[in-house]
Amino acid sequence: MNKGGTDEKRQRVEERDRASEREIARTLALGKEALLDSDSDEKRHRVEERERVKEKLRELWRKKRIRDQDPSMEAAQGFWGESERESG
């Protein structure tokens, strides 16, 4: 087993997760601004964006749970994601 390769892969995944978290935080900030916005079309757009971000966050947490179980399972995300949706 190539320990160095596994560490590099985990580091790339963690960097990708951090970037996603920053994107989510930015979008949530937009959602908060939308609640204060008096323009209903703009407000609706930002609320919709916030809902998309919430769904993305749920997906990231699902992937993290899979990765925490076993990093080699990352390739099997589709399989586990389907079984989670069916049982959820």
Write out pLDDT tens, residues 24-72: 888 888 877 766 666 677 778 888 999 999 999 989 888 888 877 766 6
**Residue 41 included in any domain:** yes
Could you tell me if residue 8 is inside a domain?
Answer: no
**Total tally of structural domains belonging to the chain:** 1
Torsion of CA 39, 40, 45, 47, to 10 degrees: 110
Q: Is residue 7 part of a domain?
A: no
In a domain, 11, yes or no: no
| Residue 58 located in a structural domain | yes
Tokens at 49, concatenated: 């964006």
Q: Which domain covers residue 79, as residue numbers?
A: 21-87
Residue 85 has pLDDT above 70, yes or no: no
Does residue 56 lie in a domain region?
Answer: yes
In a domain, 42, yes or no: yes
Whole-number pLDDT of residue 27: 82
In this structure, is residue 36 part of a structural domain?
Answer: yes
* More confidently predicted of 18 and 78: 18
What percent of the chain is modeled with pLDDT above 90?
6
